[in-house]
Amino acid sequence: MINLARRVTFSLATFIALAVVSFLGIDALPGDGCTALLGRFGSDTKIESCRQENQLNDPVVVRLKNWSTDLISGDLGYSIKRDEQVSEIIIPRLRNTAVMAAVAAVIAFPSAIVVGLLLGRFPQKRSSKVVNQLSVIAMTLPEFVIATVLWLVLSIWLPIFPGVSVMPSNASVLQLLPNVWLPAFTLAVVIFAHSMRTMRASVTNVQTMPFVESAQLRGTKERTTISRHIVPAALPPVMNVVALDGAWLLTGTFVTEAVFNFQGLGRLAIDAISDRDTALILPIILFGLAVYLISSLLADSLARIFDPRLRSAKG
Amino acid sequence: MMTTPTQSQVLGFKAVTVRAKNESRESRPILDAISLQLEHGETLGIVGGSGSGKTTLLRLAAGVLAPGLVLERGEIETVGTNLLVASPVERESIYGSGVALVAQSVGESLTPHLNVLSHFRDAVSGEAVNERVLESLAEVGLGGEKYLHRYPHQLSGGERQRVLLALALVRSPQLLLLDEPTSALDVSIGSEVLTTIDRLQRSRGFALVCVSHDLGVVSQISKRIAVMNQGRIVELGQTSQVLRSPSHEYTKALVSSIPKLDQRIRESNSQSNETVLVCRNLGIVRGQTTRAIDSLDLEIKQGEVVGIIGESGSGKSSLLAAICGLVPISDGSLQNGDGYDLSTALQNRSRTVLSSIQMVFQNPDDSLNPMRTVAQSLSRYTQATNSEMSSVLLSVGLGEQFLTRRPHEMSGGEKQRAAIARALLAKPRLLLLDEVTSALDVTVQAAVMKTLADVQRKLNIAMIIVSHDIALVASFVDRILVLRHGQLVEQGSVDDVIKSPRDSYTQNLVEISGRRLSFELN
Amino acid sequence: MKTFSRLGFMRNRALIVATLGLHAFVALLAPYLKLLSTDAQDSAALLQKPSFDHWLGTDALGRDVFSRLLHGGRPSLVIAFAATAISCVIGIVIGAVAALAGGWLDDALSRVIDFLLALPTLILLLLISSFFGQDPFVLSVALGLMYTAPIARVARSATQTLLMRDFVRVARLQGGSRISILFGEVLPNVWRLMFTEVAMQFTWILLAFSSLSFLGLGASPPTPEWGLMIAESRSYMTLNPLLVIAPIVMLASLVLAIQALVDHE
């Protein structure tokens, strides 16, 4: 328990430190919300009055203080360029990405674990080798290639799914569904390959350990050996990958969203960066940070659940 | 398909030859024309050095053949079945109830995330599971409910070995196969485990095959013994017969190599009065709180050889590490013969002080940088010339050709000799030897110890020899120290300590050693 | 089944080496081969299918695809090499020094490494390339620094394992200075343990840059670069599929070959 508290504190401290660094870093970049709105060629007077209005001329420390107090009370800020509250821009898109992430996770993780187990336990079979090769290829191809290939195959050549989406970001989930499948499949392929290979490697590793043979030589039935001895020992590294890839599903999917023009958080991030909309970029970075830190903590805790040795070593 | 069982035979090997898959016909096979039979209730011990094939033999008896090996010729029948060709279902039904194998690495043979009770659940089901398990555990000497819910990492080495025994015997197999049952355990614990095994064998009447590199282990629990060398059984017969009057050359060499309590392999030389090391009230702390060494007083003179006996946790390795400066001391004083304070950190010591104390470590595979030749490893920090290196290699029994060899081309014994040569090149006044022969075959150990005796006599250096093997130490050193949990429990000349030990712990160790080596069967 | 034998690519050593050799040849020598210009736009011959003049056809601006394809690996390879070198040098030294020094220095450096690992690298990349222009030097340094932390972490644990080995302890007993041990015993052995990690890192950086180019934030037009080519030609797939397939094959074969080589070690 002490250990958990210590790790949470460290994560919190990291978050705060990185948040401040991000604020200052973004602030140091050329341009601000006003130049984003009016363009670099907007007249100086207009830019100046815009800055006065939005308190952009206050000293850095003051702005940092205001921003952080706002943040703590839940106010994510205001985008000058889009003339909207940041939360209203982000939340619908976050929901969209979450739906896509959930679909991808449900498709990919359970199947990856099962397939990884089978490949690890029965590597000799012809089908094992084929599946293995395919997944190696899937894992090395970059996301944009997989997205493009799926788009080609499932949207152009075999018109099953709609390709590029034209839904507005605040469409209902039902309206969103037809557009979710292709991006979700793309993401599913990427994370399937990663989790599956980790599970397979872990199972292969565990199988060679003396305790597995020891169980077999006592007459333990194959099914029992797999379920009671091998699987729990093989899961910890996979849980780690699931947690980290899960985090990635929420924060790192902009390439896929760009290919399909899916109105999620990733697409928003790209747009915000091209627009130089600093008010928007910052919360997105912080979100990514928070998700990563939480999932690391989760991964650690899950490892402890599975391995009693880690449990008794202080919390 | 079960072959017609030969009723009384539980294990049969007929002209079995096993080779590595990619080797040619000319190379030596792993197992060469092995034939042996074992009847119900019989006990057989198999002894041999590393590479003798004994483990492969045992595992074949259990129907396990490593993927890189192939059975070239011969038949194997275990409790009436050829396990190698049996179907998985058949094998599952025979394991546990017909034959059981307890493998070598005790530390990793229990599933880390399952407690003791869960391990038994694989084999035992139905009502009264707990009672049956408690019974099994009690039989191997683990009484009480507390063991049911313990996890493997909460058990000591001896306890784990007993749990594995109980698991193997819970369904009363006809044949029990044991691979190095005590090599990972302290001598005293191992002796108790062997007593338990012996008792169980007599009361339950199962047949037993026990493989070990240690003659003493095997002789304690088996009536018959097979001596293996290079894939062949060179001698097979009644244990007492084979050990008292061996007929094969290899067996003779094996028996004579074993250190015996009453047989010296080195003569003490006259000592000077110069001191080389002085410890007063020495204390060493490991980690946060464990006192590895507590209030130790020790003085060593030039040319003296001191032996330190201790089991795991005695602090013997920490003591050596502190003396050479790898580990800091927490209390007391540590000085060399010139009064120099040896608690100074390594980087602050002068070259002369550093070279005056050198150490050789236990694991031959770790002592030499795998990327360097022997010449490079020897000369890198000592700046020795080629001729100096050649002469020191010669003094440890290695020819000049070893200068250009790399570690992967050398045997364990050769690597240890090279490590000793490297230490000698620094011209130390005190040489520390931490279990340097424990990882070597007993015949190789005897040769290395003889070399050390020669070196010590010629150079008249002081030595501290640490070992768990009291007979080895007694046959070599001038003075013995016995450590237990960081405390010095006995100190004296070899004669005093072995013939009339004052401390009960020492008495126990001497007795166990004597018992094993006199080849008496209880 | 014969059809799947080409998937045996991963195991076939000769095939892997041949692929890597081909890539190296093309990457190094493309400018010296007598190829058509990568920039010449022929407005009369837009989106042509493969022909005698243009072996793989032309793209939307009439440029020769074959020539652009052979030049297309250079930008990402250069950046990947530079960034990997930077991350290795800095990462291995930090990791090894942390493990060697122990104590407070090790604690401090470990915290820094954990801190850096938490950074959302891809978003930062987007930011940097967007705000600081697509200067290859800036991108190499940024990528190199970003991937320093994973290397440092692995180097630290590899060094810690090494320090426990007896031959290192002996070196200290025989008077080896910390520096001498670092360079003599530690680094050469650490390097071997880390080879796989470094090679994987190289492929990730390569793919990251291609992805950036795909998004328009990496190589800038008219530079021929595989990721950029895929993005530019996506909409014209039906007219000349090779426009997209050819760069995909080049990229995939290069990355697969490197990973297969590393897997074998």
Q: Is the pLDDT of residue B388 over 70?
A: yes
Asked if residue C52 is part of any domain, the answer here is: yes
Mean per-residue pLDDT of chain C: 81
Residue C166 confidence (pLDDT) above 70: yes
Greater confidence (B15 vs A85) lies with B15
Q: Which domain holds residue A77?
A: 2-86
Interface membership of B103 toward A (CB under 8 Å): yes
Looking at the fold, whether C47 and C96 belong to one and the same domain comes out as no
Quick one: pLDDT at residue B250? 93
Task: State the pLDDT at residue B300.
Answer: 92
Residues of chain B with pLDDT > 70, as a percent, come to 97
The 3-state secondary structure of C112-163, one letter per residue: HHHHHHCCCHHHHHHHHHHHCCCCHHHHHHHHHHHCHHHHHHHHHHHHHHHH
Q: Tell me, yes or no, whether A78 and A95 share the same domain.
A: no
Q: Convert the pLDDT of each residue in C59-92 to its tens digit.
A: 777 788 888 888 888 888 999 999 999 999 999 8
Confidence class for position A311, pLDDT limits 50, 70, 90: low
Report whether pLDDT(B520) > 60.
no
Q: Contacts for A236-240 with beta carbons within 8 Å, 24 or more apart?
A: A236/A202, A236/A302, A236/A303, A236/A306, A236/A307, A237/A198, A237/A201, A237/A202, A238/A113, A238/A116, A238/A195, A238/A198, A238/A199, A238/A202, A239/A299, A239/A302, A239/A303, A239/A306, A240/A299, A240/A302, A240/A303
pLDDT at A166: 65
| Site from A211, A216, A225 to mutate, B interface, most B CB atoms within 10 angstroms | A211
Q: Can you tell me the distance from the alpha carbon of B122 to that of A130, in angstroms, rounded to the nearest whole number? A: 34
Q: How confident is the model at residue A167 (pLDDT cuts 50, 70, 90)?
A: low
Give me the pLDDT at residue A163, please.
66
Return the residue of C nearest to B365 by Cα: C166
Mean pLDDT of B90-111: 88
Residues A144, A98 share a domain = yes
Half-sphere exposure of C46 (CA within 13 A, CB side): 6
Look at residue C208 and tell me if it is in a domain.
Answer: no
Cα A125–chain centre separation = 34
Chain A residues with CB under 8 Å of C1 CB are 126
Mean pLDDT, chain B, rounded, equals 89
Query: What does each C-alpha distance from C231 to B154, B237, B242, C211 come to in angstroms?
Result: 59, 80, 82, 10
Instruction: Flag whether C60 is in a domain.
Output: yes
pLDDT in tens, B407-420: 989 988 999 999 99
Summarised one tens digit per residue, pLDDT across range B158-168 is: 899 999 999 99
Contact (CB, 8 A) for B311 and B279: no
Distance from the Cα of A173 to chain C's closest Cα (Å) equals: 27
Across chain A, mean pLDDT equals 82
The CA-atom distances, in angstroms, between B496 and each of B56, B462, B477, B493 are 44, 21, 13, 5
Mark whether C82 and C184 lie in a shared domain: yes
Domain-embedded: residue C180: yes
Of chain A, the end-to-end C-alpha distance in Å amounts to 4
pLDDT digits (tens, 9 = 90+) for B235-261: 999 998 898 889 999 999 998 898 888
> Is 50 exceeded by the pLDDT of residue C184?
yes
CA distance B323 to B293: 12
Distance CA A81, CA A277 (A): 7
Between the ranges A81-90, B119-128, C87-96, where is the mean pLDDT highest? C87-96
pLDDT the model gives residue C197: 82
Instruction: Decide which of B299 and A79 is more confident.
Output: B299
pLDDT in tens, B416-437: 999 999 999 999 999 999 999 9
pLDDT level of residue A165 (50, 70, 90 thresholds): low
**Do residue C59 and residue C83 come from a single domain?**
no
Averaged pLDDT for residues C130-147: 83
List, for residues A267-277, the tens digit of each pLDDT value: 888 888 877 78
Structural domain tally of chain A?
2
Give per-residue burial for C165-178: e unless 16+ CB within 10 Å, then b.
bbbbbbbbbbbbee
Same structural domain, A181 and A251: yes
Q: Which of A140, A141, A198, A245 is the mutation pick for testing C, counting most C CBs within 10 A?
A: A140
More reliable by pLDDT, B519 or B51: B51
Name which of A166-170, A176-180, A221-225 the model is least confident about: A166-170
The residue segments making up the domain with residue C153 are 75-199
CATH code of residue A272: 1.10.3720.10
Among A164-173, B127-136, C255-264, the range of highest mean pLDDT: B127-136
Is C205 within the bounds of a domain? no
Find the mean pLDDT for residues A218-222: 88
Picking from A86, A112, A138, the residue at the C-terminal end of a domain is A86
- End-of-domain residue from the set A24, A58, A86: A86
Q: Are residues A106 and A57 in the same domain?
A: no
Q: Are residues A171 and A45 in the same domain?
A: no
Statement to judge: residues C99 and C44 lie in one domain: no
Do A82 and A96 lie in one domain? The reply is no
pLDDT for res B180: 92
**B328 has a chain C CB within 8 A of its CB:** no
If one counts the domains in chain C, the total is 2
Buried b (16+ CB within 10 A) or exposed e, A184-195: bbbbbbbbbbbb
pLDDT at residue A51 is higher than 80: no
> In angstroms, rounded to a whole number, what is the distance separating the alpha carbons of residues B140 and B425?
51
**A117-131, B251-265, B359-373: which range is least confident on average?**
A117-131
Which amino acid is it at C175?
A: G
For residues B227 and A261, the model is more confident at: B227
Whether residues A218 and B122 touch (CB distance < 8 A) is answered with yes
Q: Band of the pLDDT at A77, cuts 50, 70, 90?
A: confident
B chain contacts of residue A205, beta-carbon cutoff 8 Å: none
Using an 8 Å Cβ cutoff, are B335 and B278 in contact? yes
Sheet of strand B462-467: strand arrangement:
B357-360, B430-434, B462-467, B305-309, B479-484, B487-493
d(CA A198, CA A240): 10
Looking at the structure, do residues C91 and C180 belong to the same domain, yes or no? Answer: yes
pLDDT at A308 over 80: no
B346-369 pLDDT tens trace? 878 888 888 899 999 999 888 898
Q: What is the pTM of this model?
A: 0.83
Residue of C6, C107, C123, C220 to mutate, interface with A, max A Cβ within 10 Å: C123
More confident residue, A174 or B421: B421
Closest Cα of chain C to A229: distance in Å?
Answer: 28
